[in-house]
Amino acid sequence: MRLVLTNLTIKDVKPHLRELVDQLFKKVPAGVGSTGFVKLSKDGFRKVVEDGAEWCVDNGYGWKEDLEVTELNGRADWVDSSKVSSKAIERGYNQIGTLGSGNHYLEIQHVKAENIHDHALAKKWGIFPDQIVIMFHCGSRGFGHQIATDHLQVFLNVMERKYGIKILDRELACAPFNSPEGQDYFKAMAGGVNMSFANRQVILHRIREVFSSIFKQDAEKLGMKMVFDVAHNRASLEKHKVDGQTKEVIVHRKGATGSYQAGRPEIPQKYRNDGSPVIIGGSMETGSYLLVGGPKAEETFCSTAHGSGRTMSRTKAKQLWKGEQLQKDMEKKGILVKSVSYPGLAEEAGGAYKDIDDVIEATHQAGISKKVTKLLPIANVKG
């Protein structure tokens, strides 16, 4: 997830909204099998896998300050690309700067005054009433999936024979963390994290290009600074209290995202006294949220929901909605949406997801992550 500011208001953007959506759809390829404009050799891609968003900034696809507000400074430094298979490299080397499919999206959002919950923190972080911001959600594409598939197979081959581990479901395949197989996966996974940082960094570069072109101003003058970038669906080595003692543990966040209370070392220096920014996607019809790590985050190992969550399968959603009609209905509500696939659009209908306000209220009341502002969609690009 990545959230980007602008100094534009709804009044500034409304006349250009359709052009923005069309250009973003053109500049940020979406859908299954889409390929990016960054042309790399397979060896060159391994350099990206090692360096993450740092590679992008060094090669002109971003600003140095972007790294300062990216989790891990944009690079999981325990990576070892030699642990990544040639098949994974083959799947990923031409996908940098692409959105992908499923629930991945690029959204232009509006900050209404009445939706700002923490005025002091919002102002400190650069959020103001009537502002336009951009949020997008995507990961390491087929590259990360292949890494997981490769190592899952390795685990299946060794876990019972070598480590005496029995499981009920092959998807739970595993190996001890400090085993050769466990360490190989951990180092390869970092490559997937780095690819995802690089992917989002290049997408941000393209977004800045589009806004700059349409508004005839440099991205700097348009105030297009990042709020935060966070990777989810990964494992992290962190220190937490367990039975009253501080221990180093592996926190697996799948369907979850980091939500660190103030003072935690994982938080970039800019936000360390506040708590980590937390970006939660809702649906393309109902809105999303910017939160901050709450005072009770340690009770959930500094984790919170990473989205509103589905209420039904994708198959069921396609039975209930038709993408073409949904697109028209959303436009009547003031939300422009462009997608590579009408069935894919139907899968992501707002009604297929839980009420984002209810989900956020639960985490807020629990003190895990606290509300800063709600963000309402006005335009969306879908895979």
The two tokens of residue 150 are 């490769």
Check 151, 240, 306, 364 and give the catalytic one: 306
Is 240 an active-site residue? no
- The full 3-state SS of the chain, as one line of letters, equals CEEECCCCEHHHHHHHHHHHHHHHHHHCCCCCCCCCCCCCCHHHHHHHHHHCHHHHHHCCCCCHHHHHCEHHHHCCCCCCHHHCCHHHHHHHCCCCCCCCCCCCEEEEEECCHHHECCHHHHHHCCCCCCEEEEEEECCCHHHHHHHHHHHHHHHHHHHHHHHCCCCCCHHHCCCCCCCHHHHHHHHHHHHHHHHHHHHHHHHHHHHHHHHHHHHCCCCCCCCCCEEEECCCCEEEEEEEEECCEEEEEEEEECCEEECCCCCCCCCCHHHCCCCCEEEEEEECCCEEEEEEECCCHHHHCCEEECECCECCCHHHHHHHCCHHHHHHHHHHCCCEEEECCHHHHHHCCHHHECCHHHHHHHHHHHCCEEEEEEEEEEEEEEC
Identify the three-state secondary structure at position 169: coil
Judge contact between 203 and 97, C-beta under 8 A. Answer: yes
Catalytic (active-site) positions: 306
